[in-house]
Chain A
Amino acid sequence: MFDFSVVTHWVDQLLRSFLPEGWAILTEFILIGLCLLVGYAVIALVLIYVERKVCAFFQCRLGPNRVGPYGLIQSVADMIKMLTKELITINHVDKFLFNLAPYIVIIASVIAFSCLPFAKGLEIIDFNVGAFFVMAVSSMGIVGILLAGWSSNNKYSLIGAMRSGAQMISYELSIGLSILTIIVFTDTMQLSQIVANQADGWFIFKGHIPAFIAFIIYLIAGTAETNRGPFDLPEADSELTAGYHTEYSGMHFGFFYLAEYLNMFIVAGMATTLFLGGWMPLHIGGWNGFNAIMDAIPSIIWFFGKTGGLIFIIMWFKWTFPRLRIDQLLTLEWKYLLPINLVNMFLMVIVVVFDLHF
């Protein structure tokens, strides 16, 4: 299987060959930062297009089909529109916080995005508390959302932000516990190590029942964490028009919009890494021919394929279910997900201690 570290090492060697070490590292930072942002933007555009098409197909519609063949460059056109739109300055808002909020949201999501192991040897930040770091960073976005709602000086925005606060803090717990369940199982928080440990079988198969329950809970809590339907209360369009980003225009709105899609990608990517073996191909013990074919598929395709599958499921949720009410949302978390999660973690401890896994 192709190892991307070959490429990165080659670039590293090349830069070091004609630059002093400090400059070489700086250049690499800039290059990586650029690649990251481009990757971020491209994935967001693709996701927006895919969401529109998927949503349309669920709804017996054709979806975008005007701009480009099958509407392929619709989201590019939308991006250009968004970039050229005016940022309307609004009276009676807290200008500093109002302008700061979208950046907090987008930065939190870019950092979390940069932690994902996309393919073999293609990891940007990989240190020993990786899983913990992703959680910490991705929950920073909530600050941005709360600030956006508060500084907008709009009643809808405020209600949206408050809902979002209650929701994210609650569901963070479930996400944390389900990740913890896997960490108990795999014995490491380093994302590359977690992937490597799944070489002989994905955790969802290896950890069977507790891992599967943790996976389901992670998926539900992750959807809630990204403020997507059916958990889109903070922006519930039929109640609060657009919730916390009601007052935003132009690219500031665009940041919220991008971050929402990328957060979905991050949630799906993390689920892939933790439960579905990251970029590891599917191996079945004993089927050597099958395993060889699976190995031939590049690791990056494995990662994006699995993530794409999960994203489809998250979209499928959104376009099937009605929105929850705030009390239902909290009931689901505190009365169902949290206790089940705790029991599940205990179950996982038993599985690990008595070596009941495969």
Chain B
Amino acid sequence: MVQKNTYFGGLFSGLGSLLTGMKVTLREFFTRKTTECYPENRATLKMYDRFRGTLELIHNGQNEHKCIACGICEMNCPNGTIQIQSEFVTDENGKKRKILKAYRYDLGSCIFCQLCVVSCPQGALRFGTEFENAVFTREKLVKQLNHEGAVLEKKGV
């Protein structure tokens, strides 16, 4: 063991420590690189299925969703991200019913706290894994989540 407090001991142990460091970096120089080429690997890039990208209103194959426009998600949202526009219609039995007109969601102010998804009594919401959300203006971040012409899913069908 070299004496570290002597002049030459200090010099050589110091040099030794520098060479150890250089050995490590040289080893890393030849190992496989960890970064990825992002837009090129788009086809193979898969996010974890629980990843919170954007809020989605679940639609089934017949363009039906489960939202009954109760407004619980709107109330639970800490940021006022969700706006629900509803209207009253009279159905075939003559009953007045509240249905969803537009489910507006402002991605720009969403903090992804998941309270809307958790609190939804119908299980109508979920977070999708879409992550490429860049747009040019803030207005484009305000999205309508219910698809055009979508209606409420009928129970028991």
Contact = CB atoms under 8 A, between A and B. Distances in A.
Do A and B contact each other directly (Cβ–Cβ < 8 Å)? Answer: yes
Contacts of A92: none
Contacts of A317: 22
B55 to A, nearest CB: 33
Contact of B37 (A58, A62, A319): A62
Given A58-B25, A58-B28, A321-B21, A65 B33 contact: no
A316 B28 CA distance: 12
A17 B28 CA distance: 58
Contact of A316 (B11, B25, B31, B33): B25
Contacts of B29: 54, 57-58
Given A57-B29, A60-B31, A60-B33, A321 B18 contact: yes
Nearest to B40: A65
A316 B37 contact: no
Given A60-B31, A320-B25, A336 B37 contact: no
A320 B29 CA distance: 11
Where chain B touches its partner, the secondary structure class is: helix
A107 B147 CA distance: 66
Interface in B1-51: 11, 18, 21-22, 24-26, 28-29, 31, 33-35, 37
A319 B25 CA distance: 8
B25 A62 contact: no
B34 A316 contact: no
A62 B28 CA distance: 12
A62 B29 CA distance: 11
Contact of A61 (B18, B24, B26, B33): B33
Contacts, number: 34
B4 to A, nearest CB: 15
A336 B35 contact: no
Most interface-central of B11, B24, B29, B37 (chain A CB within 10 A)? B29
Interface in A298-346: 316-317, 319-321, 336
Contacts of B18: 320-321
A264 to B, nearest CB: 18
A357 B11 CA distance: 27
Given A316-B22, A321-B21, A60 B11 contact: no
Contacts of A320: 18, 21-22, 24-25
A60 B34 contact: yes
Contacts of B31: 60
Nearest to A61: B35
Interface in A44-70: 54, 56-62, 65
Contacts of B11: 336
A319 B11 CA distance: 21
A223 to B, nearest CB: 12
Most interface-central of A57, A65, A320 (chain B CB within 10 A)? A320
Interface string B51-65: 000000000000000
Nearest to A316: B22
B30 to A, nearest CB: 8
Nearest to B19: A320
Contacts of B22: 316-317, 320
Given A321-B18, A336-B11, A316 B35 contact: no
Contacts of B37: 62, 65
B21 A62 contact: no
Contacts of A59: 28
A334 to B, nearest CB: 13
Contacts of A319: 25
A319 B37 CA distance: 23
Contacts of A56: 33
B21 A60 contact: no
Nearest to A54: B29
A295 B22 CA distance: 33
Nearest to A216: B15
A62 B35 contact: yes
A62 B34 CA distance: 8
Contacts of B24: 320
Contacts of B33: 56-57, 60-62
Interface of B: 11, 18, 21-22, 24-26, 28-29, 31, 33-35, 37
The list of the 8 closest CB pairs from A to B, nearest first, reads A320-B25, A60-B34, A61-B35, A320-B21, A58-B25, A57-B29, A320-B22, A62-B33
Interface of A: 54, 56-62, 65, 316-317, 319-321, 336
Given A57-B29, A60-B31, A320-B18, 12 more contacts: A54-B29, A57-B28, A57-B33, A60-B28, A61-B33, A61-B34, A316-B25, A316-B26, A317-B22, A320-B21, A321-B21, A336-B11
7 contacts: A57-B33, A58-B28, A59-B28, A61-B33, A317-B22, A321-B18, A321-B21
